[in-house]
Amino acid sequence: MITNFISLDLNPALVEFRDYCMAFYAPHSDLYPIEGFSEAICEVAIMEYIKQCSDPENDFEWGDGDSIDRERVSWIARNKEYLPLLKRMNPTLEVA
């Protein structure tokens, strides 16, 4: 899975989207802070969301990093159902 993170870092649009999500949900944000939300969690949630968007069984579509994309990434990051995925994709991750 490490290649996904390398790909994210090499994609300026995804880096901008990650930064956009962090501006809203980082613990120090004045908007909608999520305790324990980190770049690592954000990146894993983004990769999971992109995977969901590419699944033909799913109705999600990538909106070029719009507010709906951001909200869906936040939902993935906060949904306890995804905690095992977050841990598996990044074993050193500490999730609050």
The domain segmentation of the chain, as residue ranges, is 2-89
Q: Nearest Cα to 25, choosing from 11, 9, 39?
A: 39
What's the pLDDT tens digit per position in 36-69?
888 888 988 998 899 889 888 988 888 888 999 9
Angle among Cα 31, 36, 37 to the nearest 5 degrees reads: 55
Q: Nearest Cα to 36, choosing from 47, 25, 44?
A: 25
CA dist 8 and 93 (Å) reads 17
Residue 80, SS3 per DSSP: helix
Q: What pTM, to 2 d.p., does this model score? A: 0.79
